[in-house]
Each structure stands twice: as C-alpha cells, then as structure tokens.
Amino acid sequence: MTVVSPVRPTGGPTDPGRVVVVGAGMVAHRLVEQMLARGEHAAWEITVLGDEPYRPYDRVHLSEFFDGRDADALALAPTVWDDARVTLRTGDAVASIDRDEQVVVTRAGVRVPYDNLVLATGSWAWTPRTTGIELPGVVSYRTLDDVSALRDWIQAREDTLGRPLRGAVVGGGVLGLEAASALQRLGAHATVVEFADRLMSVQLDEGGGETLRVRIADMGVDVRLGTGATRLVAAPDGAVGLLVLSDGSTLDVDVVVFSTGIRPRDRLARESGLAIGERGGVVVGPTCRTSDPFVWAIGEVASYEGVCAGLVAPGNAQADVVVDQLLGGTAEYAPAPEGTKLKGVLHDGVPVEAASFGDVNALTPGALEVTFADPVAKTYKKLVVSDDARTLLGGVFVGDAALYSSLRPMLGRALGADPSAFLAPEGGAAVPSADLPDDVVVCSCANVTAGTVRGAVTEHGCTSVADVKKCTKAGTICGSCVPLLTKLVNTQLEASGVEVSRAMCEHFPMTRADLFALVKAEGLRTFSEVVAAHGTGRGCVVCKPVVASILSSLGVGHVLDPANAPLQDTNDHALANMQKDGTYSVIPRIPGGEITPEKLAVIADVAREYGLYTRITGAQRIGMFGARLEQLPAIWQRLVDAGMESGQAYGKSLRAVKSCVGQSWCRFGVQDSVGMGVRLELRYRGLRAPHKFKVGVSGCARECAEARGKDVGVIATERGWNVYVGGNGGFTPRHAELLAEDLDDEMLLRVIDRFLAYYIRSADRLQRTAPWVADYPGGIAELRKVLVDDTLGICEDLEASIAAHVEAYEDEWAATLADPVRLARFASFVNAPDTPDPDLAYTPERGQVRPARLGEVSDPNPVIARTIAVRPSDVEMEDAL
Amino acid sequence: MTRWTPVCELAALDPERGVAALVDGVQVALFLLDDGRVLGVANHDPFSGANVVSRGIVGTHGERTTVTSPMHKQVWDLVTGECLDAAGKDPVDLAVFAVEVRDGTVHVGS
C-alpha cells in the first residue's frame, strides 16, 4: 500500500486545510456555521459525514415531528450547505479512521483525507440488558428514524388491534417524559416507569419531583416510581405484549419506549487508538484536541475532565473553540454551569414546566434553601443560596418555570434581593436584567453573553429583539431566554438613547388604545381616513386588522363592509378559521351548549357529505374541519337554513359562553346558569375586541363551568351573581378577580357591558383581558371604582356602545349568503372557481381524516380518504408477490 | 418567449386584495393594488406548505408593496418576491409572474 502524505489544497501550514467532521448533528452544523461566519481569509474546506440520511436537524425539538415537522422542516439553517467550501455527505457512516494516513473510510468505501479531523459523533441511546428488548414495538427516542418508527408502529398496531394502544416509557427523565407526551399525542395511553424515587431524578429535588409527578399524573399518564423493567414478553402474534417490572408487577403494553440514558459514540475513536475517558468518550483538553493533535472532538462524544455533556449548549461552545483554534486563535473551553428545562411535554396543549440549575440538593456546605410550594396551584419553587443568603447557588422550578430563564444566568452571583422576594406568588422582586454583568451567559444554547447582546445594540446597530436574534443567534434554539433577552435589549436601547417604540407598526406611531381614542373623537370612518389623518403608507398585517376592529367596535365599519374587506385577515374575510393546510373550520354558535337533535342531524349530514373532520371543541360546541374556501357558502347555507348562525370561532371577538347545567337540573345549583349563559352569549355575539374573549357562568360556588378561567366569569350566589374579570387559560393561566358581588340579572349585564366596552377601548393590540387587568394602574381595586362606582363618569357611554352593538347585530353568515358580491370572495381560483386546490390530501385517522403528511397514503377527497387502507392489505401483498 | 394566459376580467379583482389563479397547473396569487397595478407571485407559501399567499394582507414596508402570509405572517415584496421577514426562519423568496392587463382582461405570463 502506497503511503501518500496528506497535501494541503492551498495556503500555508497554519491554515485549517481539509477539515473532516464525522457526525452530522447539531454541533457539526454549528461548527460549519461558525467557520462561515468568521469569514477569515484562511484556506479551508469542510466535509461533514453523517450516518443518518438527513441534513443536520434540530434534535432539541424532535417531538415537533408529531406536529407535522418533517426532516426538511426540522433541518437546521440549510443555507450553510450551499457554500462551495462545504460538502455534506449523509446516509453513509464512517467505518474507520487511519490516523497515520490521515484519512477516514466510510462504510460505502469512500476515502476522505483530512488535515484536521473533528469527531462529533454524539451519543447513542443506552438500554439496560432486558430480555425481549428486540421485540417489535420496542423503540428508542433519539433520532428522526426513532420517532418515525414510533409513529408508524402506533398507526399499524392500532389498525391491527382495533383499539387505542397501551404504551410504556422506561425512564422518567426529561426525554422519557417527552416520549410519554408523544405517546399521548399519538393516541396511546402512557405509563412512565422510573427506577429512582422521583421523576427527573438527576435534575430535581424531592419536592420538585413530587410536584412534577402530580402534574404528569394530571395529564393522564400513570407514573410508577422505584421500579425498573426486568423483561418484555411477546403477545401471541410476536409483538411486545407485556412488561414485567422489578417489583414483580406487570403492565399490558402494545408499545414500549426505552429512554434510559445516553452513552458517547466513541467506537471509532477507540478503534483508532485515541485516548478514551474512564466513563467513555474521547478525552479532550481545553482546546478540544484529542490525544492526536490533528484530531478534535466536540459535543456529547467529547470527554472533558471525565465528563461527557448531554446538552447542546456545551457542544456548541466546543464547536466555537475548535473553529477559533483552527483559524489560529487561542480560545479554550470552560464548562459553564448548565441548567435543564423540561420541554415537549404538553398537558392539553399547554407545556408542563420543570427546570433546575446549579446545586439542586443544597450540597454546598452551609447552603440555605428557600422554598415556596403551592399544592393548590401545583407549583414548587426553590432557591439555594450561600450561608449569607447573598449568592445564588441553584434553583428548582416546577409548574411555573418563569424564574428559570431569568435567574439561571445569576448562578454564582449576588442575588441583589431577599431570595424569598423572588418566590412570592405576586408582587415578587423584579428579576434582575438591566444590571446583569457582561460575562453572564443569557442564551446557553447559542452561548451568547449579556455583553454580546448589548454589543449587538451598541456596535452592530440592532434596534429590535428580532435584529439581535438574527445577529447573535440568541433565543433561536430553545427560546426559553427570550423574555430575558427582550428586557436586556430594550434596556440597552433606552440606555443608548434609542426610544423604545410603542408604535403599533411602521404605519402608526401610537398604541392601539391611543388610536382608538383618536378615531372615536374624530369620527373617522374608513381605513383611508384613519391612515391619512394619523399614519403613513398603505398599512400592513398589523395595523389593518386593528383599524378594522376599532371601526367595528365603534359601530361604523361592519366586518362585512366592502371598504373593510382589504383590512381583514383571512379569518374575518372568509368568516372561518384557517387551518394548517389552508382549509377552514366551520363552527356554528351553540348557545349554552344546548342543541336540538334536529340541528345535530343537520351537522351530521353536512360533515358526512363534505367529509369534514368533526369534534366537540373546548368551548362546548361542535367543530367541522377541512372545509375548502369554495365550499363554505354551501355548507353555511345548510346550517343557516336549519336555524344556526356564525359562532365567530374565527374572530377577535366573543367565542363562547361556557356554563354548567345549573338550577334547572343540578341539585346544588342556586341560579339558572344555562339561561344566563345563553343570554350573555346572545348579547355579546359578534362583538369585536383587541383579542378573542370567553365568558363562563357557574350555577353555584362549586364552579363547574370554570368561570374564573375566563375573561369574564359569573358565579351564582344565593343572592344573585358574582362577576370576576381578567381570567385566562392558555399560555399563561390566571384566575379572574372579583369585580362585583351579589348583582341581580340587570345589574350583572350592565357591569359586564362596562367592563367589555372599557377593555375594547383601552387595551393594546392582541392584549387579552388578563394582562390588561393586571397592568391596569391600581389593579382591580381601581377598575372596580371606575366600572362599579363610576368615578370617571364614563359608565353611561360604555353601556351605550354595547347597546348599539346589540341593536346592530346581524348574523354575518346569513348576511353574506344574501349578498352576491360577498359570495364572489369564496372562489378557489378566479379562473376555476369550483376547482379544489389540487395539493390538498387527506389520510384516515380514527375513523375520520386529517391533512396528510409527506409520504403518507392519502387521497385529495376526504370522503374517499376516510376509507382508504393505510397499509397494503395482506391480499394485496400476496398479489404483489 | 412569454406565453400569456388570460385568467379573468380586471373587474373581478378587489383593490388591495388577492385572488388565486390556476395557470397550466401552477397556482399564481394575483393582487390588484390601489394604483391599478396587478402583480403576480407564487400562491404556494414555502414556510407552511399551504397554497394561501393570495389570501394574505397587502401592505407596505417603506416604499415596497408587500403581502403577508395568513398562516405564519412571513412577509414578501410583491414586486420582486423577496422575503422581507421570515419570522425567525431562513428566508425563502417567492417566484414572481409577469402580469399584463389588456382590454380589461388580466393575463399571466409563463
């Protein structure tokens, strides 16, 4: 064999030359991105070799695969692969490294010579030795192929068994809980089996673990602690059927996910004779060089001081070090204290929060623990501080991890306030941000410090959070630091003399509330008038719908007026809510949740005829999904003919009034909550507001309608009604606060009229009532004075504006169907008005359809799609043979 | 050699609003502006994968005329197809189509 000395392509001996990266994961991508970003005039070319068939993808958000994000959508900024100096080879693993010849050889036999070799092979999913682990239906949860296999298995197995599946996840760590949530989302029941005495045992203390267990159990996931998997037993047809646990009990299972930890993929390094750490991994020093000066290691395969990192942030930091070293710099890797945050675990679509950093178990001598646990709200927060209570040593947050992103950068630093002040449920100490030292890491994923963020503003001319994200990459990976980033950027902008704009957009220099007052005072009636008087340009997606909403609230510009048509976003334009594939949902109003069998039959007929996916919505209504733009008028004609009307499920307006069954039937009810619910719904239907709003009515203090989670909550008392305002479910849940007590029916309506009219007048764009009430100067007490005691003398005016709305109400769909001009909007194509969008495709799921994902068996017609076989049947298979 | 396909009467278009048209199987989004110009871009929203660009809101960014995706609010220049705001993603431009109005009929070039 001829030995060929590696010859550098061009350039001098200090240039990086031919850089070969083994492994095409997130840190490999980071390395390439940084090489390009540095833009220095050194001679180099990079070849990245990956065994997976995909471009490097965002493994952090792997679970979003189940939301339809495929390999392309999850791919990390793919433009780096377009650079002429960069080559990416996927789907071919490296088989061996010849360090003497400085060449790697792939399984396919391709020989790639290198001047510098970077090992970025990552980890593999370790599983304990368990009998039966090879059975069909047992999977890992680490790669795109894993999650794809999991989805396919669940679909196929569900078809075979004809019932929802029973799933188990072995391992109750961050990834295991994410897998359990994924099982649920795929329609399977999930049990989590964890050998330790708590969930997230590496990151949480006992109290945090227990609170998380309650939260996970609330999701409907069974949690089995203190036991492990011993063996798996096959069902009669050979697939996995039973999981035997170490405590002797068993679980019936149709699918099992193992998530029991990771190990560095260091086989190549071992076989090529590089130094390997005691617990695995390629030994590197602070420069990230291995025992061979021409070989580097970064990410989870690199063992620094005996530890392999298991997160993306240290790997990115190491990639940056190697880039700097390759370009002749002297950067060194210093492990930053890391935190962990649970992600991708959803309870009814809302993330379950759990996070920690630092000395979680207060093992530092003299460390003090300050804990706030709320078993009702199911939150647990703990700060660990030094013996003088000054220095932050660690934190645990479960149920509400808002403090995590703001306090984690303060680790090892002076807190600046009494630790308990941070944990107080309301009126907590202001989280530090402005005075954060420059060297504090704000975004640990992209390894961006507070100083870098400030520099982006002062030296690189960034004038917004979006600019800073683009410039520094901060906040672009897991996103948990964005609130802190925003504060930091805005503070810096103000300090630099840049006025932080309160402008709605580039066309209007004022807030929505200020514009509302101007439009009202000056009696403006069209967008053209408004923009001529107070704005510039021709508007945009921000200000046009705001002006449309203001005009509608003032009763001068109906949603359907032709002059307003260009202002409406597609939902208000089509009077339907756009779904992910461009079709719409159809949701008729069902006041009080009361519906006759006759109306139900019409809904059933329509859904069957048009092949619409049908479900009960969260607002006690029936939604039909998948209606094409050109089908909406015919569908609504049927519903309107049957006595139904628009439910405004598409508008920034009243959605629905939820009520319990109340006095009429319930043995505890003290008022007629359904009757009041219907009355409120018919009063406020169609009312446009800065954001959508919801109302709830409970017939007694047991609060079965969950009214305090609504924008307006009404709860019956022996003497009348209590009204609460500013509640919210959604992303930031908040209980509504008491505005007035023991009102009779008429006074209740007047108080709600005033509240809604005042909110519509003075809230910011897209500001829901919860933050509006919370931010109102003086809070609920002051609002009570204005709305109940009428201290500003505006209540009459507020009531009049609602009265005008009630007077002018018409069903938007009935009005549209009666108007040929408006009906012309509902054409799929201007030159083929009834031709369906040829790209729509549906696939069957649980007896109905959903939009098909890439590569699935599908049909453009949802009625047909409902009956297609997902897999070739056995007969077809035989035919094919 | 540009081939012109007639798609509709100019009167069928609403000012500052879009419609979709099928031109040889290709979906084109057409917009009539306040100044009487008709502009054409691809109807396929590369970010969401849905054919919805024609249903976006028309506006301006500085001197440029824009359309915003109704799905996830990415913004493009209607004249050049350039992606002006990718909403945190990598920018992807839209193909643009030549449009001519002759004798009150809108033609799309291909």
Best mutation target among A79, A470, A538 (most B Cβ atoms within 10 Å) is A538
SS3 at position A262: strand
Q: Which residues of A771-808 are buried (b: 16+ CB within 10 A; e: fewer)?
A: bbbeebeeebeebbebbbeeeeeebeebbebbeebeee
Chain B, nearest residue to A831 by Cα: B7
The answer to whether the CB atoms of A578 and B52 lie below 8 A apart is yes
**Which residues does A652 contact at the CB level (< 8 Å), separation at least 6?**
A545, A549, A688, A689, A690, A691, A692, A766
Q: What CA–CA distance (Å, rounded) separates A292 from A283? A: 10
Of A77, A537, A830, the CB nearest to B12: A830
Chain A, nearest residue to B85 by Cα: A466
The answer to whether the CB atoms of A570 and B56 lie below 8 A apart is yes
Which residues in chain B come in under a pLDDT of 70?
1
Chain A, nearest residue to B15 by Cα: A566
- Using a CB–CB cut-off of 8 Å, the residues of A that contact B are 77-79, 466, 469, 476, 506-507, 537-541, 544-545, 562, 565-567, 569-571, 573-574, 578, 580-582, 629, 824, 827-832, 835, 837-839
Of A540, A828, A831, the CB nearest to B8: A831
Best mutation target among B37, B57, B108 (most A Cβ atoms within 10 Å) is B57
Contacts of A830 in chain B (CB under 8 A): 7-8, 12-13, 19-21, 30
Residue A880: exposure state from Cβ atoms within 10 A (0-12, 13-18, ≥19) = exposed
Q: How confident is the model at residue A732 (pLDDT cuts 50, 70, 90)?
A: low
Contacts of B55 in chain A (CB under 8 A): 570, 573-574, 578, 582, 629
The answer to whether the CB atoms of B50 and A581 lie below 8 A apart is yes
Q: How confident is the model at residue A335 (pLDDT cuts 50, 70, 90)?
A: confident
Whether A862 shows a pLDDT value over 80: the answer reads yes
Q: Quick one: tokens of A383?
A: 């700060």
Q: What is the pLDDT of residue A801?
A: 92
Q: What CA–CA distance (Å, rounded) separates A662 from A699? A: 5
The answer to whether the CB atoms of B19 and A545 lie below 8 A apart is no
A93-135 pLDDT, tens per residue?
999 999 999 999 999 999 999 999 999 999 998 888 889 999 9
> What is the mean pLDDT of the segment spanning A725-732?
80
State the smallest CA–CA distance between residue A490 and chain B in angstroms: 19
Contacts of B34 in chain A (CB under 8 A): 538
Best mutation target among A465, A544, A830, A856 (most B Cβ atoms within 10 Å) is A830
Domains of chain A plus CATH, in order, are 17-124+264-326 (3.50.50.60), 138-260 (3.50.50.60), 443-500 (1.10.10.1100), 512-568 (no CATH), 652-810 (3.30.413.10), 842-880 (no CATH)
Q: What is the pLDDT of residue A13?
A: 53
Q: What is the pLDDT of residue A428?
A: 42
The answer to whether the CB atoms of A835 and B22 lie below 8 A apart is yes
State the smallest CA–CA distance between residue B15 and chain A in angstroms: 7
CB pairs under 8 A between A and B: 101
Q: What DSSP element (H or E) covers A610? A: helix A597-610
How many residues are there in chain A?
881
High-pLDDT (> 70) share of chain A, %: 94
Contacts of B62 in chain A (CB under 8 A): 506, 537
Q: What CA–CA distance (Å, rounded) separates A565 from A548? A: 9
Of B25, B58, B70, the CB nearest to A566: B58
- Among A517-531, A547-561, A602-616, the minimum mean pLDDT is found in A547-561
User: Could you give the C-alpha distances from A404 to A397, A398, A484, A689, in angstroms and in order?
Assistant: 7, 10, 10, 33
User: Could you give the C-alpha distances from A521 to A387, A514, A786, A843, B91, in angstroms and in order?
Assistant: 60, 11, 21, 53, 42
Contacts of A537 in chain B (CB under 8 A): 59-60, 62
Question: Got the DSSP string for A834-849?
Answer: T---TT--EEEETTEE
The answer to whether the CB atoms of A570 and B62 lie below 8 A apart is no
Best mutation target among B5, B19, B30, B77 (most A Cβ atoms within 10 Å) is B19
Residue A185: exposure state from Cβ atoms within 10 A (0-12, 13-18, ≥19) = middle
> What is the mean pLDDT of the segment spanning A387-400?
91
A130-186 pLDDT, tens per residue?
899 999 999 999 999 999 999 999 999 999 999 999 999 999 999 999 999 999 989
Q: What CA–CA distance (Å, rounded) separates A405 from A443? A: 9
Q: What CA–CA distance (Å, rounded) separates A518 from A338? A: 50
State the smallest CA–CA distance between residue A505 and chain B in angstroms: 10
Q: What is the pLDDT of residue A434?
A: 53
Q: Which one-letter DSSP state was computed for residue A477?
A: S
Best mutation target among A831, A839, A840 (most B Cβ atoms within 10 Å) is A831
Q: What is the pLDDT of residue A447?
A: 79
Q: Quick one: tokens of A245?
A: 């646990």
Q: Which one-letter DSSP state was computed for residue A100?
A: T
Of A469, A506, A582, the CB nearest to B52: A582
The answer to whether the CB atoms of A570 and B65 lie below 8 A apart is no
The answer to whether the CB atoms of A507 and B62 lie below 8 A apart is no
Residues A485 and A448: beta-carbon distance below 8 Å: no
The pLDDT mean for chain A works out to 88
Single out the residue of A680, A723, A674, A724 nearest to residue A699, CA to CA.
A674
Q: Which residues of A64-83 are buried (b: 16+ CB within 10 A; e: fewer)?
A: ebbebbbbebbbbbeebeee
SS3 at position A851: strand
Q: Quick one: tokens of A694?
A: 């919801």
State the smallest CA–CA distance between residue B51 and chain A in angstroms: 7
> What is the mean pLDDT of the segment spanning A699-710?
93
Q: What CA–CA distance (Å, rounded) separates A648 from A653? A: 7
As a dihedral over the C-alpha atoms of residue A87, residue A89, residue A95, residue A101, rounded to 10 degrees, the angle is -20
- Topology of domain B16-102, CATH: Rieske Iron-sulfur Protein (2.102.10)
Establish if B9 touches chain A: CB-CB under 8 angstroms. no
Whether A523 shows a pLDDT value over 70: the answer reads yes
Compute φ and ψ for A106, nearest 5 degrees.
Answer: -90, 170
Q: Quick one: tokens of A225?
A: 């602690």
Establish if B70 touches chain A: CB-CB under 8 angstroms. yes
Q: Quick one: tokens of A215?
A: 């939260």
Q: How confident is the model at residue A560 (pLDDT cuts 50, 70, 90)?
A: low
Q: What is the pLDDT of residue A478?
A: 67
Establish if B36 touches chain A: CB-CB under 8 angstroms. no
A182-229 pLDDT, tens per residue?
999 899 999 999 999 999 998 999 999 999 999 999 999 999 999 999
Q: Quick one: tokens of A280?
A: 């695995």
Angle of helix A527-534 relative to helix A543-553, nearest 10 degrees, comes to 110
B4-13 pLDDT, tens per residue?
999 999 999 9
The answer to whether the CB atoms of B61 and A507 lie below 8 A apart is no
A455-491 pLDDT, tens per residue?
888 888 888 777 888 788 887 766 667 767 877 887 8
The answer to whether the CB atoms of A569 and B71 lie below 8 A apart is no
Q: Which one-letter DSSP state was computed for residue A703?
A: -
